[in-house]
Amino acid sequence: GGAAMAAVRDVEIDPEGTFKYILMRLQRPGGGEQRDIVRGTKAAEFHNHIFEKVNPEMEKLGYECKCLGGGKIDHNSKDKKIRVFGLSTGYGKADHSVTVEILKKVYTDYEITWSDDKK
């Protein structure tokens, strides 16, 4: 139930740099609880690489996942700033405003902004 879902972190992103990210929705089959999570890493050359890594982990926990879109994150840990921008060619643009709200839950003392800029 709720415990397994609580064990899934809202955000897992690289601590520094500019990298691709996706916004994912987790849902219990047949409706019920759902939540959105943010995943991003420099290790992913394409947005679907992130999804293909995270999806099986979430399925093991009993969630159906869908990708709500993607973009890029610029994470400056020294200045405590995160910028969310860009889009995913395959998945389309995530709602960056939703991504920012999720990031704020974790990076409470950061300045977090978003734009539809490509760079």
- Domain contains 4: no
> How many domains does the chain contain in total?
1
Residue 5 lies in a domain: no
Q: Is residue 6 part of a domain?
A: no
Spatial distance between the Cα atoms of 8 and 59, rounded to a whole number of angstroms: 12
The amino acid sitting at 118 is K
**Quick check: is 25 in a domain?**
yes
Residue 23 DSSP one-character state: E
- Whole-number Å distance between alpha carbons of 114 and 57: 28
Residue keyed to tokens 């389309």:
92
Domain assignment present for residue 92? The answer is yes
Residue found under tokens 């929705």: 25
Q: Does 102 fall in a domain?
A: yes
Q: Is 60 annotated as a binding residue?
A: no
**Residue-level pLDDT at 31:** 79
CB 38 within 8 A of CB 103: yes
Residue 2 inside a domain? The answer is no
In the chain, % of residues over pLDDT 90: 83
- The reply to whether 78 falls in a domain is yes
- When pLDDT is averaged across residues 103-107 and rounded to a whole number, the result is 98
Q: What is the value of pTM for the model shown? A: 0.93
Task: Give the active site residues.
Answer: 47
Domain span including residue 73:
11-115
Q: Give the model confidence (pLDDT) of 73-87 as tens digits.
A: 999 999 999 999 999
pLDDT at 40 > cutoff 60: yes
CATH of the domain at 92: 3.50.20.20
Q: Is the pLDDT of residue 1 over 60?
A: no
- C-beta atoms surrounding 30 within 10 Å: 6
**Longest alpha-carbon distance in the chain:** 43
| pLDDT mean over 46-69 | 96
